[in-house]
């Protein structure tokens, strides 16, 4: 079993929100989407989506409703709310700052090394 | 989202919980199926696809729990934990009961003592802004807190700039004519602004008006609430009524509030204005008052003291004859009032805290043992998906449940103990400590209890959490928890036992020292025989006893009358009973000795001729008083050996003369005899020089009879009181008791006795707990080392060797404990300072006794488990693996 790439803490929420900007999705679809978009690098323990989704629901950043799939299975579909979109902006800029900061640190190391 | 919104969502969830769970399950199941479908379409076989999907999805139980945690209130899982904790406790009732009992004792003892501390030290004064109230008195080298003279008070009041008001009070007694006859009732004389300074307003009538304490004003008085109810049935028409207090018509102007109390004279029924009518108050050198001042805002105690000292120095320059050496003392009123119980309360609080500590250590030790036993259970729960936090929380919950039950039981214990202790305090002592009325489960006490409980809960949670299988989770599972006792636990548990034994040593030696002090104090040489002596005090009213000769004649006929009663061997009287205080002193000067104005303070008592024979005190030289030492003969005086030694070293004092500071001719009295020291002071105080004057030559309005009886002295008391009343019904009779009872009840004896008893109780419990702790630790260690012992025996170790091995381990623990304890107790005993009497902090006998006791007890506590170890059957021990 290959080692999974660990997620930076707090990034899962952000990725879910980002994924949902493309439209309402159910949990499995969100997981698939994250997996594909990251070229299979980020294979999180997919079940951990659900506690995260509960947290987002509680904060009212997403809302959920039950729908039927074409194969007539009941699925819970999550939709981004206005507040969620705003939150995504906040988290994105925070994330970018952090990435930039880490980038600067790592570059310095390279030069010296 | 707002916190309130989140809270609402959680609340909603609470009602839709089963739906939430079903939906989550459905959603997650769908997800997992989809992954499995993916694997299958990639060509993975059925069961393998199922397995890999499960891995990719993760632990469903744990994920559901985490989702649940997100939306649920914390307490929902807490309820689960609590239920589990209670179940755990009922599964091992022995553990639960032991732990709860120990906690109940520890918490009960400390809460009780804290309630006393709270009542006595934290809020002793039921007045307005009590911390601004100061006790203001004069001071002498011999009396750091002496009395204030009225003349000095007037100057102090006029000159000071630090007090918004400065008032005075002095204890007093009145003779009240009641239907049952003359009764002596306690009272206080106060200056007019006294109650305004305290911030107390009468509930009925009015307060004294300013300047109503002037001699020109008509005498007025206030009633205590209890007196109003008891003597006047709470009738409002008592206001304006005029009563005769010791013959002086006094108008009642008001009633004090029911919660009013005045500790310096707790039983006071009447408060009258202190009109400076008596002779003492006209003389600057006569000190009979105490001052109470309210500090101005922003003035510190130190600043007030400095200013009052300055004023005292100024008066000393102005009046060198009367004020030589008269300084000033300013201290918080609360300290002045609770001064004598302060040290004992601190020592007892320390004792109770140590007891609590030992109880907590014991319980944590028990918990550690249990945590060790539950390693496997915790490992299984961890494997089933419980997070480490969740497991830790389980221990925290169990600790909290334990502490909750223990605290509840402790509060019950404390409530009972408070009642018992309160009931054990004599009425006389209680009167001097009215602040104890407010004792109980006040908010302070609750705060203390909660703090103690939280600390204990913290300790009880942390101890087992340290034992949580963190890294060794899998290992614990595989070896089934049957490994040899882990060194970590053994070391921690053993260290805790050392602490316990050390605390037990401290408490036991503390109790030993206090008991020895008490014994020494009760067995000091009193200088007289206190058995078979009945005492009562007689209070002559002002009217009918204005002249010296009237009082002298009354006293003489009273003595004659009592002497003739059947059962009376001899009778004497004195103005101050033995074992009272170094008080009622006289400032004297000796004829023919150089005098530089220093204070020669000596205890001064007026006694009858038969006083010394009645007490069976020893005459050292010269003669005792005779009937002829009366007003018609030259004044004579007896001195005690201390006086003779101090002022006539190497000389014969007989024939020398004592006088006042001016050597006024009519103050001169000739020393006719020297008696051995009679204990005039409190039991634990140093004996002072004393002079005994002949009562007939200086008769006072108040004196106490001492009657040596053949039958039990208690049985004679009614007859004695009746004899006084028969002679004159208007005379007050009070304080009927026996001399032994009086000594037994005296404040110093009472304080030392209660300290010794309570500390003894604490030490006894601590001793028991520490031995239980030692026994438990060794037993557990033996049970853990069964396999090791089995191997040793299989390899040929003798039973005696095993026996010794365990005993050595136990011996090492108790030795460390005892040695550490002895060191700590010497340090602790030196903190007890004033409570020790005639005993040093490093009293070898006490310490040796404690060491022997603990060593013997620990040997016994370890013998049983070590015997069990020696009887281990090696085959069984090894097969058990």
pLDDT digits (tens, 9 = 90+) for B813-860: 889 999 999 999 988 888 887 788 888 888 899 999 999 999 999 888
Specify whether the backbone of A71 is left (phi greater than 0), alpha (psi in -120 to 50) or beta: alpha
Instruction: Tell me the Cα Rg of chain B.
Output: 38
Is pLDDT at B568 greater than 50 in this prediction? yes
Produce one character per residue of A10-48: b if its CB has 16 or more CB atoms within 10 Å, e if not: eebbbbbbbbbeeeebbbbbbbbbbbeeeeeebebbbbb
Contact assessment for residue B687 and residue B720, using Cβ atoms and an 8 Å cutoff: no
Say what the pLDDT of residue B294 is: 95
Choose the most confident range, by mean pLDDT, from A31-40, A97-106, B71-80, B201-210: B201-210
By Cβ distance, the residue of B9, B58, B71 closest to A48 is: B58
Q: Do B10 and A58 touch (CB under 8 A)?
A: yes
Rounded to whole angstroms, the Cα distance separating B234 from B256 reads: 12
pLDDT tens, position by position, B484-495? 445 655 577 778
A54: pLDDT strictly greater than 50: yes
B23 close contact with A: CB closer than 8 A? yes
Question: Under a CB-based contact definition with an 8 Å cutoff, are residues B436 and B136 in contact?
Answer: no
Q: Between A33 and B834, where is the model more confident?
A: A33
For the cut 50, the answer to whether the pLDDT of residue B864 exceeds it is yes
d(C-alpha B258, C-alpha B202), whole Å: 9
pLDDT of residue B54: 84
B95 exposure class (CB count in 10 Å sphere: 0-12, 13-18, 19+)? middle
Pairwise CB contact (< 8 Å): A54 & B67: yes
Average pLDDT of the residues in B311-338 = 89
pLDDT of residue B650 exceeding 80, the answer is: yes
Question: Which of A57-71, B549-563, B596-610, B651-665 has maximum average pLDDT?
Answer: B549-563
* ipTM above 0.95 for this complex: no
Give the model's confidence band at B329: pLDDT under 50 very low, under 70 low, under 90 confident, else very high. very high
The one-character DSSP state at A5 is P
- Judge residue B533's burial from the number of C-beta atoms within 10 Å of its C-beta, 0-12 exposed, 13-18 middle, 19 or more buried: buried
Choose between B522 and B466: higher pLDDT.
Answer: B522
The pLDDT-based confidence of B555 (bands split at 50, 70, 90) is: very high
pLDDT tier at B466, thresholds 50, 70, 90: confident
Task: Mark yes or no for CB contact A51/B55 under 8 Å.
Answer: no
Per-residue pLDDT of B140-151, as tens digits, reads 877 888 889 999
Closest chain B residue by Cα to residue A42: B56
d(Cα B273, Cα B620) in Å, to the nearest integer? 47
Flag if B59 and A47 touch (Cβ within 8 Å). Answer: yes
User: For chain B, what are the domain ranges?
Assistant: 3-72, 141-325, 342-522+748-879, 541-730
Picking from B57, B66, B71, the nearest residue to A46 by CB comes out as B57
> In this predicted structure, which of B116-130, B213-227, B368-382, B477-491 has the lowest mean pLDDT?
B477-491
Q: Is the pLDDT of residue B785 over 50?
A: yes
Question: Which of B339-343, B387-391, B658-662 has the lowest average pLDDT?
Answer: B387-391
Q: What is the pLDDT of residues B394-412, one digit of tens each?
A: 888 888 888 999 999 999 9
Q: Does B56 touch chain A (CB under 8 A)?
A: yes
- Of B223-237, B329-343, B680-694, B779-793, which gets the smallest average pLDDT? B779-793
The predicted pLDDT at position B471 comes to 43
Contacts of B5 in chain A (CB under 8 A): 60
Nearest-Cα distance to chain B for A82, in Å, is: 12
Q: What is the pLDDT of residues B502-529, one digit of tens each?
A: 999 999 999 999 999 999 988 888 999 9
**Confidence at residue B551, expressed as pLDDT on a 0 to 100 scale:** 92
How far is the C-alpha of B647 from the C-alpha of B651, rounded, in Å? 9
To the nearest whole angstrom, how far is the Cα of A111 from the nearest Cα of chain B?
Answer: 39
Residue B426 has pLDDT above 90, yes or no: no
pLDDT at B244: 87
At residue B880, the pLDDT reads 61
Average confidence (pLDDT) over B221-245: 91
Tell me what pLDDT residue B832 has: 83
Instruction: Report the residue of chain A nearest B13, measured CA to CA.
Output: A58
Question: Which of B56, B66, B71 has the CB atom closest to A58's CB atom?
Answer: B71
What mean pLDDT value characterizes chain B? 86
Q: What local confidence, expressed as pLDDT, does residue B467 receive?
A: 67
Is the pLDDT at B199 greater than 60? The verdict is yes
pLDDT of the residue at B20 = 78
Q: Do A48 and B31 touch (CB under 8 A)?
A: no
Which residues lie below 8 Å from residue B357, measured CB to CB, with a gap of 6+? B106, B499, B503
pLDDT in tens, B570-618: 999 999 999 988 888 888 889 888 887 777 889 999 999 999 999 999 9
Average pLDDT, chain A: 80
Residue B472: pLDDT band (50, 70, 90) is very low
Is 3.20.20.150 the CATH number for A11-112?
Answer: no
B67 interfacial to chain A (CB closer than 8 Å): yes
Phi, psi at A35, each rounded to 5°: -60, -50
Place B482 in a pLDDT band, splitting at 50, 70 and 90. Answer: very low
> Are the beta carbons of B31 and A1 separated by less than 8 Å?
no
Best B13, B33, B34 member to test A by mutation, with max A CBs in 10 Å, is B34
Cβ-proximal residues to B320 (8 Å cutoff; 6+ apart), any chain: B597
E strand segments, B35-180: 133-139, 148-149, 163-178
Mean pLDDT of B525-549: 89
Chain centroid, CA B466 distance in Å: 38
pLDDT of B811 over the 80 cut: yes
Tell me the CA distances in angstroms from A26 to A74, A76, B333, B717, B807, one per residue in order: 10, 6, 76, 99, 69
**Candidate from B352-361, B379-388, B858-867 with smallest mean pLDDT:** B379-388
Q: Which of B38, B70, B74, B385 to mutate to test the interface with A (most CBs of A within 10 A)?
A: B70
What is the model's pLDDT at position B593? 84
Q: What pLDDT does residue B483 have?
A: 45
Half-sphere exposure of B476 (CA within 13 A, CB side): 22
In B, minimum Cα distance to A27 occurs at B31
Yes or no, beta carbons of B1 and A58 under 8 Å apart: yes
Mutate to test the interface with B, among A3, A6, A28, A35 (most CBs of B within 10 A): A28
Integer Cα distance of B569 and B551 in angstroms = 24
pLDDT tens for B60-94 read: 887 887 777 776 665 566 677 778 778 877 877 87
A1 has pLDDT over 80: no
- % chain B with pLDDT above 90: 42
Which one has a higher pLDDT value, A3 or A52?
A52
Across the range B786-809, mean pLDDT stands at: 84
CB atoms A43 and B60 under 8 Å? no
Q: What pLDDT score does B473 carry?
A: 45
pLDDT tens for each residue of B256-312? 999 888 888 888 899 999 888 777 888 888 888 999 999 999 999 999 999 999 999
Query: Which pLDDT tens digit goes with each residue over A55-82?
Result: 888 888 898 888 888 888 888 899 999 9
pTM of the model: 0.74
Q: Give B107-142 pLDDT, tens digit per residue.
A: 999 999 999 988 888 777 888 898 899 999 999 877
Q: Which of A12, A26, A52, A54 to mutate to test the interface with B (most CBs of B within 10 A)?
A: A54
- Residue B21 contacts A where some CB pair is shorter than 8 Å: no
CB contact under 8 A, B30 and A73: yes
Q: Residue A43 — very low, low, confident or very high, per pLDDT cuts 50/70/90? A: low
Instruction: Output b/e per residue, B176-197; b: 16+ Cβ within 10 A.
Output: bbeeeebbbbbbbbbbbbbbbb
């Amino acid at each position: 079993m290959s080692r999974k790439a660990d997620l930076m803490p707090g990034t899962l929420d952000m990725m879910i929100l980002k994924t949902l900007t493309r439209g309402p999705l159910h949990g499995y679809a969100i997981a698939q989407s994250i997996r594909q978009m990251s070229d299979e690098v980020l294979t999180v323990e997919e079940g951990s989506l659900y506690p995260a989704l509960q947290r987002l629901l509680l904060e009212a950043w997403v809302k959920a409703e039950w729908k039927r799939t074409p194969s007539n299975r009941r699925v819970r579909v999550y939709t981004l709310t206005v507040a969620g979109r705003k939150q995504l902006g906040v988290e994105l800029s925070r994330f970018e700052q952090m990435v930039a900061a880490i980038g600067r640190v790592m570059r310095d190391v390279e030069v010296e090394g | 989202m707002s916190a309130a919104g989140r809270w609402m969502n959680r609340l909603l969830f609470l009602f839709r919980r089963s739906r939430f769970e079903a939906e989550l399950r459905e959603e997650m199941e769908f997800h997992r199926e989809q992954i499995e479908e993916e694997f299958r379409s990639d060509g993975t076989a059925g069961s393998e696809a199922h397995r890999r999907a499960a891995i990719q999805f993760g632990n469903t139980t744990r994920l559901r729990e985490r989702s649940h945690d997100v939306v649920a209130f914390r307490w929902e899982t807490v309820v689960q934990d609590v239920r589990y904790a209670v179940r755990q406790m009922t599964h091992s009732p022995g553990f639960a009961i032991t732990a709860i009992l120990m906690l109940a004792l520890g918490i009960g003892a400390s809460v009780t003592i804290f309630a006393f501390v709270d009542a006595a030290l934290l809020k002793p004064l039921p007045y307005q802004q009590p911390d601004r109230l100061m006790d203001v008195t004069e001071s002498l080298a011999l009396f750091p807190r002496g009395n204030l003279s009225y003349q000095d008070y007037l100057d102090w009041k006029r000159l000071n700039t630090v007090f918004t008001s400065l008032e005075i009070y002095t204890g007093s007694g009145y003779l009240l004519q009641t239907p049952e006859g003359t009764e002596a009732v306690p009272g206080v004389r106060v200056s007019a602004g006294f109650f305004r300074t305290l911030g107390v307003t009468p509930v009925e009538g009015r307060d004294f008006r300013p300047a109503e304490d002037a001699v020109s004003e008509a005498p007025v008085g206030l009633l205590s609430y209890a007196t109003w109810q008891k003597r006047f049935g709470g009738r409002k028409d008592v206001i304006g009524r005029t009563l005769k207090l010791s013959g002086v018509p006094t108008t009642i102007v008001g009633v004090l509030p029911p919660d009013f109390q005045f500790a310096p004279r707790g039983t006071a029924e009447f408060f009258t204005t202190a009109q400076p009518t008596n002779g003492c108050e006209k003389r600057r050198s006569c000190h009979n008052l105490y001052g109470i001042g309210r500090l101005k805002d922003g003035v510190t105690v130190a600043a007030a003291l400095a200013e009052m000292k300055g004023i005292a120095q100024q008066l000393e320059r102005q009046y060198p004859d009367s004020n030589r050496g008269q300084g000033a003392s300013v201290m918080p009123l609360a300290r002045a009032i609770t001064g004598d119980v302060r040290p004992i309360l601190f020592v007892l609080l320390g004792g109770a805290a140590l007891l609590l500590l030992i109880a907590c250590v014991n319980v944590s030790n028990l918990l550690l043992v249990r945590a060790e036993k539950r390693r496997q259970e915790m490992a299984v729960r961890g494997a089933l998906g419980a997070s480490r936090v969740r497991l830790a929380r389980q221990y925290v919950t169990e600790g909290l449940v334990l502490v909750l039950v223990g605290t509840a039981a402790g509060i019950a214990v404390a409530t009972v103990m408070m009642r018992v202790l309160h009931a054990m305090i004599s009425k006389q002592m209680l009167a001097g400590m009215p602040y104890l009325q407010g004792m109980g489960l006040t908010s302070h006490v609750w705060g203390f209890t909660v703090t103690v409980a939280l600390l204990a809960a913290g300790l009880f949670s942390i101890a087992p959490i340290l034992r949580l299988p963190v890294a060794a989770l899998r290992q614990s599972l595989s070896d089934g928890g049957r490994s040899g006792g882990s060194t970590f636990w053994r070391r921690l548990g053993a260290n805790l036992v050392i602490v316990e034994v050390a605390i037990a040593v401290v408490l036991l030696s503390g109790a030993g020292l206090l008991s020895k002090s008490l014994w020494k104090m009760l067995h000091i040489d009193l200088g007289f025989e206190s058995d078979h002596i009945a005492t009562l005090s007689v209070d002559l009213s002002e009217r009918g006893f204005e002249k010296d000769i009237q009082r002298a004649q009354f006293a003489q006929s009273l003595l004659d009358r009592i002497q003739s009663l059947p059962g009376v061997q001899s009778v004497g009287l004195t103005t101050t009973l033995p074992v009272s205080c170094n008080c009622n002193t006289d400032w004297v000067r000796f004829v023919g000795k150089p005098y530089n104005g220093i204070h020669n303070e000596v205890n001064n008592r007026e006694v009858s001729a038969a006083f010394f024979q009645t007490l069976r005190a020893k005459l050292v030289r010269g003669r005792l008083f005779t009937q002829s030492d009366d007003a018609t003969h030259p004044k004579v005086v007896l001195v005690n050996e201390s006086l003779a030694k101090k002022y006539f070293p190497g000389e014969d004092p007989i024939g020398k003369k004592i006088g006042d500071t001016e050597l006024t001719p009519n103050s001169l009295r000739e020393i006719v005899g020297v008696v051995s020291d009679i204990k005039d002071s409190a039991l634990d105080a140093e004996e002072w020089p004393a002079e005994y004057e002949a009562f007939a030559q200086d008769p006072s309005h108040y004196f106490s009879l001492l009657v040596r009886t053949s039958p039990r002295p208690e049985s004679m008391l009614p007859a004695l009181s009746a004899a006084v009343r028969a002679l004159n019904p208007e005379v007050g009779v009070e304080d009927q008791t026996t001399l032994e009872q009086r000594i037994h009840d005296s404040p110093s004896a009472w304080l030392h006795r209660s300290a010794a008893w309570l500390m003894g109780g604490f030490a006894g419990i601590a001793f028991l707990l520490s031995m239980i702790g030692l026994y438990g630790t060794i037993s557990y260690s033996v049970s853990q080392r069964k396999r090791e012992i089995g191997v040793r025996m299989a390899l040929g170790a003798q039973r005696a060797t095993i026996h010794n091995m365990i005993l050595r381990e136990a011996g090492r623990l108790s030795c460390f404990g005892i040695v550490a304890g002895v060191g700590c107790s010497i340090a602790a005993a030196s903190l007890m300072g004033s409570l020790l009497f005639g005993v040093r902090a490093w009293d070898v006998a006490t310490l040796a006794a404690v060491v022997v006791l603990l060593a013997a007890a620990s040997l016994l506590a370890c013998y049983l488990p070590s015997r069990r170890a020696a009887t281990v059957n090696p085959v069984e021990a090894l097969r058990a693996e």
